[in-house]
Amino acid sequence: MTTTSFATIELLHDPRGFATLWLNRADKNNAFNAQMIRELILALDQVQGNAGLRFLLIRGRGRHFSAGADLAWMQQAADLDYNTNLDDARELAELMYTLARLKIPTLAVVQGAAFGGALGLISCCDMAIAAE
């Protein structure tokens, strides 16, 4: 198994042909921020470019799948200008579009809470299951 680590996520490639993408901010209940969104796009691009992968699991470390947007990030966004906020919104849209258009089946394994943008991420997957 090979691992690609980022600051906020982890991508594990299993030699049997599937990958697991972990949301890895358990201390923040896997809340999204700009860095996580960028890293998720990069990881999905890696998945898309790997012809050996046939399936992708998306999971969250810790008690909860994701609390949605990081409230500190949202507060910082209030101080940004319109164009910067528009760019952030476009990046989030790119994440959702990239996931929805992925050429392999995707499964969200959802434990605990899933709020806000996490529901968008789950909705872009082909399948979702609840887990303990």
- Assess contact for 54 and 16: CB atoms under 8 A: no
Q: Domain residue spans in the chain? A: 2-131
- CA 105, CA 129: separation in Å to the nearest integer? 14
Kindly indicate the confidence band of residue 24, based on its pLDDT and cuts at 50, 70 and 90. very high
pLDDT digits (tens, 9 = 90+) for 54-96: 999 999 999 999 999 999 998 888 888 999 989 999 999 999 9
Kindly indicate the confidence band of residue 98, based on its pLDDT and cuts at 50, 70 and 90. very high
Instruction: Give buried/exposed letters for 31-59 (b at 16+ CB in 10 A, else e).
Output: bbbbebbbbbbebbeebeeeeebebbbbb
Helix residue ranges, H only, 101-130? 117-123
Q: Read off the pTM.
A: 0.94
CATH for 2-131, among 3.40.50.170, 3.90.226.10, 3.30.360.10, 3.90.700.10?
3.90.226.10
- CA 102, CA 130: separation in Å to the nearest integer? 22
